[in-house]
Amino acid sequence: MAGVNKVILVGNLGADPEVKYLEGDNTVANLRLATTEAYKNRNGERVEQTEWHDLEMWGAQAKIAEQYLKKGSQIYVEGKIKTDSWQDEQGQNRYRTRIRVLSFTMLGSKPDGAGNPSAPQQSTQQRPASSAPTSAPKAQEMVSDTEDDDLPF
Amino acid sequence: MAGVNKVILVGNLGADPEVKYLEGDNTVANLRLATTEAYKNRNGERVEQTEWHDLEMWGAQAKIAEQYLKKGSQIYVEGKIKTDSWQDEQGQNRYRTRIRVLSFTMLGSKPDGAGNPSAPQQSTQQRPASSAPTSAPKAQEMVSDTEDDDLPF
Amino acid sequence: MAGVNKVILVGNLGADPEVKYLEGDNTVANLRLATTEAYKNRNGERVEQTEWHDLEMWGAQAKIAEQYLKKGSQIYVEGKIKTDSWQDEQGQNRYRTRIRVLSFTMLGSKPDGAGNPSAPQQSTQQRPASSAPTSAPKAQEMVSDTEDDDLPF
Amino acid sequence: MAGVNKVILVGNLGADPEVKYLEGDNTVANLRLATTEAYKNRNGERVEQTEWHDLEMWGAQAKIAEQYLKKGSQIYVEGKIKTDSWQDEQGQNRYRTRIRVLSFTMLGSKPDGAGNPSAPQQSTQQRPASSAPTSAPKAQEMVSDTEDDDLPF
DNA sequence: TTTT
DNA sequence: TTTT
């Protein structure tokens, strides 16, 4: 049956995106995103808890990430949870969970301080493949996961 | 039946929050939030479309908004849709739709807020009333809609 | 700047969809959705509060709604808030807020009881226009807002 | 900094909840949830892809799950991603990602639950601990993660 | 391991 | 009325 698998994150990148150019003109970017919550415990002390997320972007989106995102960038992310499983050499089941990014938006008006045209406000979003940008998108534009593959997104 | 009524917004304030102190030590803040999307139309021209939202915050949350938010502030908002209806003088049905904010987070500040004490990272979120902050919360902390009323949130 | 305007609803339809066939082979469906929350007030009494939402669907999505949804149907909806404004005859500003549906999913295994093949599990979701179904989608499939217009979604 | 870590799922349970009663009158429930998406691949063939999620509920919420949820139940879930990491006997880093449930709603029941007392509409949601139900909640009511611990939710 |  |  048709289900829903949706993730919404706001956080900061722990490192620059790692981008790989694959055969067939495909591109994938892997990013580490930290989401931190701060709260008071029962003693009234302030506690911070950080969760790290493995993000995966494909195609034009990966290239935008490479161009505009870097360590410390604050982004809004929408995506879905994907867990890969396999057996390791000891025959044990192993799992790795990632967030497949469907759209993202750069946050903060001046990600890198004023006067930095190379790191502009940037965002991506679901767009039909037919209208995918043929070149790197301008700043302040919605760009999306436009992979022309069999994947539902 | 138990339903879901959830709104997620990222945008900028069009003006400073309007805060009213009501009898019974209650506080309400009204804010106007712009969410803008940019896309290319079928002619490849860049088009911007802005939607304006009326936000409503109560109690401690309203006071935090008054203290930390101002015209231009970029925030992440989570809330629910509420539509009031009434009859005007002509006997016509009138409607007004607002977003009741359940939590919000200031965006765009430095991750550690260093060197900018006047606009610190700030955020609010659902917290049990019993652990509500008795004073304005510190920067970079989760604060929430903690109204001790009959409302479900 | 690129913003986020997202609505997530789970509720029941208050009436059958109202579908209009427009010129240019366009179709629009309007639906009324109730989201109800139940909670206990400070006297421990159970209180129910229902919010009504005006939903708007276009194109293939509207046709699916017409075919599969009816009064009482429980659906999951994802969309964005849109507020139209105009001046009425008295020169007063009037507003109407609707939810532009981007995807929806029928909930409940047997919306109409077992043995009712005409009201199957059904769901819609963002899909590139190029892969839009050319006929009404089968049950249990993702279908989406595939309008080939200038709109970003 | 204050971030956002939010998961929204709609799916079916692969098995009955596994509930453990811990010392200190604490309860935890573990559930497996399947979210399935169906789409057409580039050959026009219908493809189904199922993702499995490990859900974790605590306290009153866990008891409600035990009482009302079972294999096959369709639920709406809201929560956050948590990844535990440790070193295994071979000294390798191991990870396990789960969804900490903050609220959930049973789907597919009749809006008024009439005539089905054994599987009523049921739902949970964030509520201040002070107003937590002391006994199992009635059908069609919002119930929530009301753990009185140091965790922010 | 669910659902249709 | 915001933002870039």
User: Which residue matches tokens 């989106």?
Assistant: A61
For residue D19, give how far its alpha carbon lies from the nearest alpha carbon of chain B (Å).
24
Q: What is the pLDDT of residue B129?
A: 37
d(Cα D52, Cα D24) in Å, to the nearest integer?
Answer: 31
Q: In chain B, how many domains are there?
A: 1
Angle at alpha carbon of residue C44, lines to C42 and C49, rounded to 5°: 80
Q: Which two tokens mark A9? A: 């994150």
Q: Which residue is nearest to nucleotide E2 (CA to C1')?
A: D14
Average pLDDT, chain A: 80
Give the 3-state secondary structure of D48-97.
Answer: EEEEEEEEEEECHHHHHHHHHCCCCCEEEEEEEEEEEEEECCCCCEEEEE
Q: Among D27, D57, D99, A37, which residue's Cα sits nearest to residue B127?
A: A37
Lowest mean pLDDT, pick from A109-118, A143-152, C23-32, C100-109: A109-118
Q: What is the pLDDT of residue A147?
A: 52
In a domain, D146, yes or no: no
Q: What is the pLDDT of residue B47?
A: 92
Q: What is the pTM of this model?
A: 0.84
Q: Which two tokens mark D9? A: 């799922």
Q: Shortest CB distance from D129 goes to which of B3, B105, B130? A: B130
Closest chain A CA to residue D147 = A42
Q: What is the pLDDT of residue D135?
A: 42
Cα B102 to Cα B63, B71, B137, distances in angstroms: 14, 20, 16
Q: What is the pLDDT of residue D143?
A: 54
B10, B48, B107: best mutation site toward chain A, by most A Cβ within 10 Å?
A: B107
B13 CA, F1 C1': separation in Å? 8
R_g over Cα of chain B = 17
In a domain, A16, yes or no: yes
CB neighbour class for B93 (10 Å; exposed up to 12, middle 13-18, buried from 19)? exposed
In a domain, B15, yes or no: yes
Give the 3-state secondary structure of A111-134.
Answer: CCCCCCCCCCCCEECCCCHHHCCC
In a domain, A118, yes or no: yes
Average pLDDT, chain C: 80
Which helix (H) or strand (E) element contains residue A62?
Answer: helix A59-68
* Domain, as residue range, for A13: 7-39+46-125
Give the 3-state secondary structure of C111-148.
Answer: CCCCCCCCCCCCEECCCCHHHCCCCCCCCCCEECCCCC
Comparing D97 with D142, the larger pLDDT belongs to: D97
d(Cα C122, Cα A6) in Å, to the nearest integer?
Answer: 18
d(Cα A150, Cα A152) in Å, to the nearest integer?
Answer: 6
A130 CA, F3 C1': separation in Å? 28
Q: Shortest CB distance from B141 goes to which of A8, A38, A72? A: A38
In a domain, A131, yes or no: no
Q: Which residue is nearest to nucleotide F1 (CA to C1')?
A: B14
Q: What is the pLDDT of residue D89?
A: 85
B50 touches strand F (CB under 7 A): yes
* Cβ proximity of C54 and C98 under 8 Å: yes
B15 touches strand F (CB under 7 A): yes
In a domain, B133, yes or no: no
* Cβ proximity of B36 and B11 under 8 Å: yes
Alpha helix ranges (H) inside B1-153: 59-68
Q: Do D125 and B152 touch (CB under 8 A)?
A: yes
pLDDT digits (tens, 9 = 90+) for C131-151: 333 344 443 444 578 654 444
d(Cα A64, Cα A17) in Å, to the nearest integer?
Answer: 10
pLDDT digits (tens, 9 = 90+) for B87-144: 988 888 899 999 999 999 999 865 443 333 344 444 565 443 333 333 444 434 445 7
D36 touches strand E (CB under 7 A): yes
d(Cα C72, Cα C11) in Å, to the nearest integer?
Answer: 9
In a domain, C100, yes or no: yes
- AA identity, residue A151: L
> Any long-range contacts for D33-36 (C-beta under 8 Å, 24+ apart)?
D33/D9, D33/D75, D33/D77, D33/D99, D34/A3, D35/A3, D35/A4, D35/A5, D35/D9, D35/D10, D35/D11, D36/A1, D36/A2, D36/A3, D36/D11
Q: Among A98, A37, A107, which residue's Cα sits nearest to residue A69?
A: A107
Closest chain A CA to residue D50 = A3
C94 CA, F2 C1': separation in Å? 22
Q: What is the pLDDT of residue D41?
A: 87
pLDDT of D129 > 50? The answer is no
Nucleic strand E contacts from chain D, 52-81, CB < 7 Å: 52, 71-72, 74
Which range among A47-61, B126-140, C39-53, C79-93 has the greatest average pLDDT?
A47-61
Residues of C in contact with A141 (CB under 8 A): 2
Give the pLDDT mean for A33-58: 94
pLDDT of B52 > 80? The answer is yes
B101 touches strand F (CB under 7 A): no
pLDDT of A153 > 80? The answer is no
A36, A43, A74, A81: best mutation site toward chain D, by most D Cβ within 10 Å?
A: A81
- AA identity, residue B13: L
Q: Domain with C19 in it: what CATH number?
A: 2.40.50.140
Which helix (H) or strand (E) element contains residue B55?
Answer: strand B46-58
Q: What is the pLDDT of residue A109?
A: 59
pLDDT of B56 > 80? The answer is yes
In a domain, B138, yes or no: no
